Amino acid sequence: MHLSNDSIQKHFDRTRSEHPGREATMKLFPRIAALLAVLGIAAVSVPAVAQDAESAVEDARPTTESELDAYWADRRRPRVLQRRLYPTDGEVQLTLFFGAIPNEPAMRYFPVGLRAGYWLSENIGLELSGEYIGETFRSESDLGTFLQDNYNADFFLRDEQLWRANLTFLYSPIYGKFSFSGTKLAHFDWYFGAGMGVAGIRNPLENNLAVTETEIKPEAVLRTGWNLHLHQNWALRIDYNQYIFEKASGGVTLPSEISLGASYFF
């Protein structure tokens, strides 16, 4: 059977009119195939990329050993801005000093003495101190002179201080430095202390004021001071001591002492 071109064309036109969506579906096939290809490539490559990223994260994560190193490095790092130029840990400090007790009403005392301390660490130390006043290192105050000159009055001193010795616990929480005129750095440490000791105290007898007796009284001491380091072995030392002991007439007396000394470390 022979079909003309016109017959074939009419057949396709009739088929297109009977199934209008078939042509559109045919046109979608190339696009769907391309999309499936892209999805297939992504399905293969994405797990590989994710695996590579996870490996990189694992490599960057610190190990247990490195975490421990970081922990102890933080715990052991120095807690000061700079190491001490003049360390005192384990050293003995000998101090020769002289001072003044200016707050007694009728007498001024000028003690001289020696202190021997041992620093258990950079911050903690123990110190034994002794000082002497006696009859030599003292003078009457303006009050005593005024009474004698104007009223020719005889007065009898109570609680005369002759000497003292004490053991003090020292704590030095502050270490620093400052400059003189921007040319010379001075290093210092600031300490606080508390301790107990004894003092030689002289008082007149109650039944005969012209006769005196000396007794040993316990006393407490509070201290603060500076070591101004001049050299590895030498320092200038300034102390303030607050002594507390019982009065003969009752209550307590509070002699305050300011002293200046020269220290040697070894």
pLDDT digits (tens, 9 = 90+) for 129-188: 999 999 999 988 777 667 667 766 666 788 999 999 999 999 999 988 877 666 677 889
What pLDDT, on a 0 to 100 scale, did the predictor assign at position 109?
96
Residue 84 domain-assigned?
Answer: no
Residue 69 lies in a domain: no
Asked if residue 120 and residue 198 are part of one domain, the reply reads: yes
In a domain, 73, yes or no: no
Q: The CATH number of the domain where 121 resides is what?
A: 2.40.160.20
Q: Are residues 107 and 216 in the same domain?
A: yes
Last-in-domain residue among 14, 45, 60: 60
Paired with 195 in beta bridges are 168, 221
Residue 203 region by backbone torsions, left for phi larger than 0, else alpha for psi between -120 and 50, else beta: beta
Closest to 99 in 3D by CA, of 222, 263, 242, 258: 258
Q: Which of 1-15, 53-67, 164-178, 234-248 has the lowest average pLDDT?
A: 1-15
Specify the 3-state DSSP secondary structure of 202: strand
| Distance (Å, whole) CA 133 – CA 131 | 7
SS3 state at 83: coil
Same domain, 139 and 212: yes
Question: Is residue 70 one of the residues assigned to a domain?
Answer: no
26 plus 152 within the same structural domain: no
Largest CA distance in the chain: 169
Check whether residue 27 and residue 129 sit in a common domain. Answer: no
Residue at 79 is within a domain: no
From CA 194, how far away is CA 104, in angstroms rounded?
22
Q: What is the DSSP string of 94-135?
A: EEEEEEEB---SSEEE--EEEEEEEESSSSEEEEEEEEE-TT
As for how many domains the chain has, the answer is 2
256 and 171 housed in the same domain: yes
DSSP letter assigned to residue 1: -
Query: For 238-258, what is the mean pLDDT?
Result: 95
Query: Do 126 and 171 share a domain, yes or no?
Result: yes
Report the C-alpha gap between 214 and 159 in whole angstroms.
Answer: 9
Which of 26-40, 85-99, 229-243 shows the lowest per-residue confidence on average (mean pLDDT)?
26-40
Task: Answer yes or no: is 211 within a domain.
Answer: yes
The parent domain of residue 233 ranges over 92-265
What is the pLDDT averaged over residues 19-42? 56
Region for residue 134 given its phi and psi (left: phi exceeds 0; alpha: psi -120 to 50; beta: otherwise): left
Q: Is 65 a domain residue? A: no
Sign of the alpha-carbon torsion through 21, 24, 29, 31? negative
pTM of the model: 0.67
215, 142: one domain: yes
- 85 lies in some domain: no
| 8 Å CB contact between 143 and 155 | no
Residue 258, CA distances (Å) to 16, 31, 101 in order: 119, 100, 7
